[in-house]
Amino acid sequence: EIVLTQSPGTLSLSPGDRTILSCRASQSVSNNYLAWYQQRPGQAPRLLIYRASSRATGIPDRFSGSGSGTDFTLTISRLEPEDFAVYYCQQYSTSRGTFGQGTKVEIK
Amino acid sequence: EVQLVESGGGLEQPGGSLRLSCAASGFTFSDYSMNWVRQAPGKGLEWVSYISSGGTAIFYADSVKGRFTISRDNAKNSLYLQLNSLRDEDTAVYYCAKGRTSTSTCMDVWGQGTTVTVSS
């Protein structure tokens, strides 16, 4: 089973800041089948990025994904108030779509 | 509008059973894989189960294998999860989520979830 480790656990930032979230896999994620989700408090998760770098429908271009193999990042270029949330990476290259433990982006 | 609506959650005793349902609308249900994902109180996301568009491929997380059963009825645009031999650690919000393709566990549409509480 591929284990995903996200870092840092929590980020304290201000609106307008740029931030980079990390997701490291215990083994290579084939085809770069790595997704990022956002979960706001009390809401269901929302798909942001799939296949490491493709934005899902309706996702603003301030969100971008990159990486390959075992190291992936999600960059938010300028934080908006609605971006303060928990972010999860997920690999879907195997039959079991495992998630990372999440990174919380909170207001400083 | 693409929509998923879960139902069937509730309070159940350890060892008991529940059946969750997910009603899909706004897309061709039979063209897409479906998944169940859960979230224990204050915890992260845990993928639970997957079923391919035609129902021929099914997978489970080790934590639920042998106790939970996923199924779908494409004629009724519905997804199900049968939960048996429930344990305290099964307490969670259960989300139904649509796969991006007919075979994917990458999920592009999510329901609002149904809450399962296992307690005596």
A96 band by pLDDT with thresholds 50, 70 and 90: confident
- What's the alpha-carbon Rg for chain B, to the nearest Å? 13
**Taking CB atoms and an 8 Å cutoff, what residues of chain A touch B104?**
92
Q: What is the largest CA-CA distance in chain B?
A: 41
Closest alpha carbon within chain B to A103: B44
A35 touches chain B (CB under 8 A): yes
Contacts of A56 (CB under 8 A, 6+ apart): A47, A48, A49, A50, B108
Q: pLDDT tens digits, residue range A41-95?
A: 999 999 999 999 999 999 999 999 999 999 999 999 999 999 999 999 999 998 8
Distance between CA atoms of A18 and B15, rounded to whole angstroms?
48
C-beta atoms of B50 and A37 within 8 A: no
> Which stretch of DSSP H or E encloses residue A47?
strand A46-50
Chain A residues within 8 A of B70 when measuring between CB atoms: none
Contacts of B112 in chain A (CB under 8 A): 43-44
pLDDT over 90 (residue B48): yes
pLDDT (tens digit per residue) in B76-108 = 999 999 999 999 999 999 999 999 998 889 999
Q: What are phi and psi of A99, to 5 degrees?
A: -105, 155
Number of alpha helices (DSSP H) and beta strands (DSSP E) in chain A:
0, 10
Provide the shortest C-alpha distance from residue B103 to chain A (in Å): 9
Check residue A95 and give its pLDDT.
Answer: 83
Residues of B in contact with A45 (CB under 8 A): 37, 45, 95, 97, 107, 110
Task: Give the per-residue pLDDT at A51.
Answer: 97
- Is the Cα torsion angle A91, A96, A101, A107 positive or negative in sign? positive
**What residues contact B28, with CB distance under 8 A and at least 6 apart?**
none
Q: Given this model, what pLDDT does residue B81 score?
A: 98
- What are the E-state strand segments in B1-120? 3-7, 10-12, 18-25, 34-39, 45-51, 58-60, 68-73, 78-83, 92-99, 107-110, 114-118
Interface contact A102-B95, CB threshold 8 A: no
